[in-house]
């Protein structure tokens, strides 16, 4: 593989634009010096000085101060020997403008004043101390060059700031897009988990019951039919919920879960499905339809937490009884799901860090999504308890009754 030779460190190479500018300035200055010589005819020495001064311009961006100093050193003898002054002026003006554009305002002003003093001294010496319009014109060109350099510096800084803001805005948009994609992936995974885990768990339990009955010499037809009906109902419910979720995903303008999840009003149906798996479910839920409409996100989160908690009871707890309490008080919804199952053993089966499952992790994320908190731990007297505190909007909290003044 061929490799390009490495450039020596510390050596700056002028770009093509600066080189072409230097050539153009050298040709212009030489043409002026030849076509209209000053008091002293243009000779080889004058040409050498002009070309040498022009040869420094390709490095004007890399070493603006050094280039300006070299131009002054090379053009001062040119002016002192009374060659055509205008022939060397473009070189000095370009060097001064570049120096002014690369330094702060104070340094640009000092550099311009130094050049003005040199111009006045040179012209005063050459013209025997007489002040003429040439002096004022030269001073004006010097200040114009310095001001032009500062204007270019301000313009370049302004353009750079615009580009920087645009790049930062683009990075922010990309980061926001990545963040939203990540959040959407987590939400979809959580929704699919919540939608399918409950139905599939109950279907699995009922399928096991049906299989056990089918193996009996004289199976109980009513119980077997009930188990199969429960399986069919679970399949239909799962299909409806999956279809609702897919509809939301296909319509970006629709808020997730709105209209697809019943809220606290649907906890009774969840309890009924779990009772079919042989668990006694006691529901004490303050199900207020108007409050659910005013706080749909809280209702959805509460429904999903209860759904996942009941699913965990069926899957892991081996419980015979579970209690679901939901009370609105003090501006929050206090949700408790407690069972009398295996407790610590169930917690080991479903760790809270999500390493062995995503149930408790998903419930915690549901609570955080509406600004609430959730704890899941074995109970003091056995069993397992899930507690969630979900803040309610002010409109859903009953206003305090104040006695009228007598």
Q: What are the tens digits of pLDDT across the range 256-314?
A: 444 456 778 888 888 887 887 778 889 988 766 555 555 788 888 888 898 888 888 88
Kindly provide the b/e burial profile for residues 339-348, where b requires at least 16 CB atoms within 10 angstroms of the residue's own CB: bbbbbeebbe
Question: What kind of architecture, by CATH, is found in domain 279-397?
Answer: 2-Layer Sandwich (3.30)
Where b means 16+ CB within 10 Å and e means fewer, 188-210 reads eebbebbbbbbbbbbbebbbebb
Residue pointed to by tokens 């409806």: 240
Phi, psi of 283 (to 5 degrees): -115, 120
**Alpha-carbon span 18 to 59, nearest angstrom:** 7
Which parts of the chain register pLDDT below 70?
1-13, 119-120, 122-136, 194-196, 244-261, 287-294, 343-358, 394-406
Q: Checking DSSP bridges between strand 321-329 and strand 280-285, what pairing results, if any?
A: parallel
In the chain, domain spans:
16-131, 279-397
Query: What global pTM score does this model have?
Result: 0.47
Q: pLDDT tens for residues 160-193?
A: 899 999 888 888 888 888 888 887 777 777 777 7
CA distance 350 to 314: 12
Compute the half-sphere exposure of residue 303: CA atoms within 13 Å on the CB side of its CA.
25
């Amino acid at each position: 593989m061929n490799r390009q030779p490495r450039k020596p460190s510390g050596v700056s190479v002028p770009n093509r634009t600066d080189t072409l500018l230097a050539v153009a300035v050298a040709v212009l200055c030489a043409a002026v010096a030849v076509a209209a010589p000053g008091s002293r005819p243009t000779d080889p020495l004058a040409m050498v000085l002009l070309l040498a001064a022009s040869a420094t311009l390709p490095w004007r961006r890399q070493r603006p101060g050094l280039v300006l100093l070299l131009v002054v050193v090379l053009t001062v003898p040119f002016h002192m020997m009374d060659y055509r002054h205008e022939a060397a002026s473009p070189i000095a003006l370009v060097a001064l403008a570049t120096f002014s554009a690369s330094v702060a305002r104070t340094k640009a002003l000092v550099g311009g004043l130094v050049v003005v003093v040199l111009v006045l001294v040179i012209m005063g010496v050459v013209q025997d101390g007489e002040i003429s319009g040439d002096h004022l014109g030269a001073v004006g060109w010097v200040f114009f060059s310095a001001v032009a350099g500062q204007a270019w510096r301000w313009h370049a800084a302004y353009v750079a700031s615009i580009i920087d803001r645009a790049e930062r805005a683009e990075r922010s948009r990309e980061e926001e897009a990545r963040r939203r994609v990540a959040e959407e992936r987590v939400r979809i995974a959580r929704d699919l988990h919540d939608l399918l885990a409950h139905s599939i768990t109950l279907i699995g339990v009922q399928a096991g019951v049906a299989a056990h009955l089918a193996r009996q010499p004289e199976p109980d037809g009513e119980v077997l039919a009930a188990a199969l009906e429960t399986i069919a109902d679970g399949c239909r419910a799962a299909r409806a919920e999956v279809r609702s979720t897919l509809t939301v995903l296909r319509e970006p303008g629709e808020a997730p879960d709105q209209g697809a999840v019943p809220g606290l009003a649907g906890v009774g149906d969840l309890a009924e499905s779990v009772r079919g798996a042989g668990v006694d479910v006691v529901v004490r839920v303050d199900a207020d339809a108007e409050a659910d409409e005013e706080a749909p996100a809280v209702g959805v989160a509460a429904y999903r937490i209860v759904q996942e908690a009941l699913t965990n009871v069926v899957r892991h707890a081996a419980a015979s009884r579970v209690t679901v309490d939901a009370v609105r008080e003090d501006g929050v919804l206090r949700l408790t799901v407690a069972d009398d199952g295996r407790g610590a053993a169930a917690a080991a089966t479903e760790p809270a860090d999500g390493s062995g499952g995503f149930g408790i992790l998903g419930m915690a994320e549901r609570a955080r999504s509406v600004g609430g908190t959730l704890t899941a731990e074995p109970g003091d007297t056995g069993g397992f308890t899930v507690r969630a505190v979900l803040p309610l909007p002010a409109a859903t909290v009953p206003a305090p009754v104040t006695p009228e003044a007598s």
